[in-house]
Amino acid sequence: MKFLGIIPARYASTRFPAKPLAMLGGKPVIQRVYEQVSAIIDDVYVATDDERIEQAVLSFGGKVVMTSEHHKSGTDRCYEAAMKIGGEYDVVINIQGDEPFIQSSQIEALKSCFADETTDIATLVKPFSADSPFQVLENPNSPKVVVSQNQTALYFSRSIVPYLRGVEKDEWLKKHTFYKHIGLYAYRVNVLKEITSLQQSPLEIAESLEQLRWLENGYIIKVGQTNIETIGIDTPEDLKMAEEFLAKITHG
């Protein structure tokens, strides 16, 4: 199978404008992400709507494609980019442009999901640690995933699912394995085309989770597992944490 990696990158971000161009260890964040994944995916492109990001990518020798500024999601931007790039690809991997420490094992876990011919879309989950405080599980900004026995997603929620009846809440993480959603996706090319034409669904609107639209329309989302905790950069404060993490792994 041939995989195409696309990194959607917008300049205008509510919480952190110009985030892709923020410097992390002497390189722009978008370059860090690009370099992390380009060795393990057949082809990688940055998809952007901003000439400043385009120039930054070209300056470090990366591939870039310009896309519309009107997209509402990274999925829509990925589809436009894939159509402009062309080529004979089987699967498009949507890589978040604010995850500079994404690991090759995580990409491989996604790719392996497509060994199952029934897989339409793949994503990643990470088990919550049994030692985590209950507040971590309760955080609505950390969506949870219910996974079937054949490793497909049954539901995504900002609430805690499942509810453990008759168990004290401080025991929940010890009594059951809850899964945190890692927002990395891969789609068969024909499926990517189909899902970008779907209308918003009731569950998606209720939870503000795009992937529920796909489940409601009957698409099979295969789940790969990772035990790696990624550091996403949503705010300038996150960038400081990323700098500290980079210094630690670089200098031991």
Per-residue pLDDT reduced to its tens digit, 6-16:
999 999 877 89
Examine the pLDDT at 239 and tell me if it is beyond 90: yes
Quote the longest CA-to-CA distance of the chain: 59
Query: What pLDDT, on the 0 to 100 scale, is given for residue 231?
Result: 81
Examine the pLDDT at 245 and tell me if it is beyond 80: yes
Per-residue pLDDT reduced to its tens digit, 77-136:
999 999 999 999 999 999 999 999 999 999 999 999 999 999 999 999 999 999 999 999
What separation in angstroms does the CA of 213 have from each of 93, 166, 207?
18, 32, 10
Query: What pLDDT, on the 0 to 100 scale, is given for residue 73?
Result: 87
Q: How confident is the model at residue 140 (pLDDT cuts 50, 70, 90)?
A: very high
- Tell me how far apart the alpha carbons of residues 36 and 251 are, in angstroms, rounded to a whole number: 18
Amino acid identity, position 117: E
Query: What pLDDT, on the 0 to 100 scale, is given for residue 209?
Result: 95
Amino acid identity, position 74: G
Please tell me the pTM assigned to this model: 0.93
Q: Calculate what percentage of the chain has a pLDDT beyond 90.
A: 89
What separation in angstroms does the CA of 154 have from each of 18, 68, 138, 145?
36, 33, 19, 7
Contacts of 85-88 spanning 24+ positions with Cβ under 8 A: 85/4, 85/43, 85/45, 87/2, 87/4, 87/43, 88/2
Cis status of the peptide bond prior to 8, with omega within 30 of 0: no
- Tell me how far apart the alpha carbons of residues 10 and 78 are, in angstroms, rounded to a whole number: 12
Examine the pLDDT at 252 and tell me if it is beyond 90: no
Per-residue pLDDT reduced to its tens digit, 49-72:
999 999 999 999 999 999 998 888
Domains present along the chain, CATH in parentheses: 117-181+190-229 (3.90.550.10)
> What mean pLDDT do residues 196-225 have?
97
Query: What pLDDT, on the 0 to 100 scale, is given for residue 30?
Result: 97
> What mean pLDDT do residues 156-162 have?
98
Query: What pLDDT, on the 0 to 100 scale, is given for residue 6?
Result: 98
Examine the pLDDT at 199 and tell me if it is beyond 80: yes
Average per-residue pLDDT for the chain:
95
Query: What pLDDT, on the 0 to 100 scale, is given for residue 103?
Result: 93
Per-residue pLDDT reduced to its tens digit, 72-88:
888 999 999 999 999 99
Examine the pLDDT at 207 and tell me if it is beyond 70: yes
